[in-house]
Chains A and B, each alone.
Chain A
Amino acid sequence: MKISEIVNLLDAKVICGDDMLENDVFSACGSDMMSDVLAYVKDQAVLLTGLVNSQVIRTAEMMDMVCIVFVRSKQPSEEMIELARESGMAVLTTDLRLYEACGKLYVNGLIGNGRKSHE
């Protein structure tokens, strides 16, 4: 799925990374716990979250993710946007809640990774 399609499906605003909208991403994860993202995520390119702080950007960077979606109309700070720019990540915001945003992407073909958490 192209990032531009995520923008359409979630009726999202592009905060930064306009040049990445045609990039393809193959899987995503949704979490407010960065600890869990660090522990369980494998190769997902998109992070959907309701948590807004600089560690969200840094966590995504550590996991080589390319796109962050802030749900529930959460607005990232200038500092966070700058961090995302430096790391070459796209940042989107949507009014949807985490569950709905993940659901919309999932039914349209953007999968998790199909693994159980203990694998």
Chain B
Amino acid sequence: MSESLTFHYDVDGEDFTSAGQASVQVKKNLRRLGIPPEIIRQVSIAMYEGEINMVIHAGGGDADVIVSEDRIEIILADHGPGIADIELAMQEGYSTAPDSVRSLGFGAGMGLPNMKRYTDEMTIDSKVGEGTTIKMTVKL
């Protein structure tokens, strides 16, 4: 594979039922490409956490997954409320999710730390009132 391959998804923020759909699809696509299972797992868990975050915190957004020869990049961009204190948001257990989200099985404040743990690089670019872009890289 000398050229890179991009998968794009619109992540719907209206409907929690569909949250995670894009990540399931990415997992299937990566399997088809013959990417090693351990890498697939890292990418798909990180993306799933990010996708769920876009739905519960930001009203949806765009997800791109770029597969190239030596890496897989995941770019999640939304126009939600943004994150005021990124350092605080990165702490395990920190969550602003309401109880309604917790009763759906999410909102334990483990998403962002988990995304960092499962990827080799992660950058968060966020502006309050404008949105958040998270870029994650897993090396092949």
Of A32, A51, A61, chain B has the most CB atoms within 10 Å of the CB of: A61
A91 close to chain B: CB less than 8 A: no
Proximity string of chain B (41-57) to chain A, C-beta cutoff 8 Å, 1 when within and 0 when not:
10011001100100000
Q: Would B37 and A35 count as touching, CB distance under 8 A?
A: no
Q: Would A55 and B20 count as touching, CB distance under 8 A?
A: yes
In chain A, positions 32-61 with a C-beta closer than 8 Å to chain B are: 32-36, 38-39, 51, 53-56, 58-59, 61
Proximity string of chain B (61-95) to chain A, C-beta cutoff 8 Å, 1 when within and 0 when not:
00000000000000000000000000000000000
Q: Would A61 and B17 count as touching, CB distance under 8 A?
A: no
**Of the candidates A35, A39, A53, A64, which one forms a contact with B17 in the assembled complex, judged by CB atoms under 8 Å apart?**
A53
Residues of A that sit less than 8 Å from B by CB: 32-36, 38-39, 51, 53-56, 58-59, 61-64, 79, 83, 87
Chain A residues within an 8 Å CB radius of B44: 62
Given A32-B105, A55-B19, A62-B41 in contact, is the A38-B24 Cβ separation under 8 Å?
A: no
Stretch at the interface among B6-14, B107-115, B122-130, B132-140: B107-115
Interface size class of B (residues with CB under 8 A): 20 to 34
Q: Would B17 and A54 count as touching, CB distance under 8 A?
A: yes
Residues of B that sit less than 8 Å from A by CB: 16-21, 23-24, 27, 37, 41, 44-45, 48-49, 52, 102, 104-111, 113-114
In the bound complex, CA of A58 to CA of B37 (Å): 17
Chain A residues within an 8 Å CB radius of B27: 61-62
For B108, the closest partner residue in chain A by CB is A35
Q: Would B104 and A38 count as touching, CB distance under 8 A?
A: no
In the bound complex, CA of A91 to CA of B108 (Å): 25
Q: Would B106 and A63 count as touching, CB distance under 8 A?
A: no
Q: Would B105 and A58 count as touching, CB distance under 8 A?
A: no
**Can you report 29 residue pairs joining A to B where beta carbons are below 8 Å apart?**
A32-B105, A33-B102, A33-B106, A33-B108, A34-B106, A35-B107, A35-B109, A35-B110, A38-B48, A38-B49, A38-B111, A38-B114, A39-B108, A53-B16, A53-B17, A53-B105, A54-B17, A54-B18, A55-B20, A58-B48, A59-B20, A62-B23, A62-B27, A62-B41, A62-B44, A62-B45, A63-B41, A83-B24, A87-B24
Q: Would A61 and B114 count as touching, CB distance under 8 A?
A: no
Chain B residues within an 8 Å CB radius of A54: 17-20
